[in-house]
Copies of this chain bind each other. A is one copy, B any other.
Amino acid sequence: MRAVSIVRGFTKHAEGSVLVSFGDTRVLCTASLEERGPAWKKDGGWVTAEYGMLPRATHTRGRREAAQGKQSGRTQEIQRLIGRSLRAAVDLSALGNFTVTIDCDVLQADGGTRTAAITGGYVAMVDAINAARARKLIKGNPIHGQIAAVSVGIHAGRPVLDLDYIEDSNCECDMNLVMNEAGHFIEVQGTAEGHAFRREELNELLDIGAKGIGELLEAQRKALAGG
């Protein structure tokens, strides 16, 4: 696992604001609390996420999605994954009529931006919900689990935890895992890049992933305790 850092209160306006780093990957995750449920749902609240990459977070400048007039398929896929993962940690009915929006903006990319976003976004979400609880806007505790995410892959024939950009670009297979504090799975997304992977390889990846998740859950707890 690369060096992990979780800095809370990185910006001042958001109810939760976290700068998360996995090595050189740096993602600003803000959690915004708004008093409105989603249009298509009568009762209870909602947790949703949006993801963006600053144009020059990467080696070569990417086109700004706002200027292009649409979000790429990759962006949409990632933000759907983040939202789905974070909802797995929340009892939506206990959220009342609140929507929590997690904005994950990548300031610097070096592999694993989506897993960093989920891991940091969880902390921002907890901060925002706790702020609402402190102000008595929400009763009880809607957070009913802890989740974190990590990437694993096979690079140069060996299983690797938390791939950086170079490893990710050359890996034979790449998997993103979202797991909870009980060691159970929220999401398993594995893709063969070069060659199809065998059941034994899958098992190895799940093993090292679980270990990485353990470290991340610990880092989240330390950060939340430190506030």
Contact = CB atoms under 8 A, between A and B. Distances in A.
Number of copies: 6
Contacts of A195: 184
A198 B180 CA distance: 10
Nearest to A192: B186
A184 to B, nearest CB: 3
Given A54-B105, A80-B77, A192 B185 contact: yes
Contact of A54 (B26, B28, B109, B191): B28
Interface size on A, as a range, is 35 or more
Contacts of A3: none
A225 to B, nearest CB: 24
A136 interface: no
B192 A28 contact: no
A69 interface: yes
Give the most central of A58, A77, A185, A196: most B CB within 10 Å. A196
A5 interface: no
A175 B183 CA distance: 18
Given A13-B58, A190-B185, A196-B88, A70 B69 contact: yes
A188 interface: yes
A151 interface: no
A182 interface: yes
A54 B51 CA distance: 11
A199 B192 contact: no
A214 interface: no
Interface stretch (A60-68, A90-98, A113-121, A156-164): A60-68
Given A61-B103, A76-B76, 6 more contacts: A50-B55, A105-B105, A180-B196, A185-B192, A185-B196, A185-B199
16 contacts: A11-B107, A12-B108, A17-B56, A61-B101, A66-B71, A73-B73, A76-B76, A77-B77, A88-B196, A184-B192, A184-B199, A185-B190, A186-B191, A187-B190, A187-B191, A188-B190
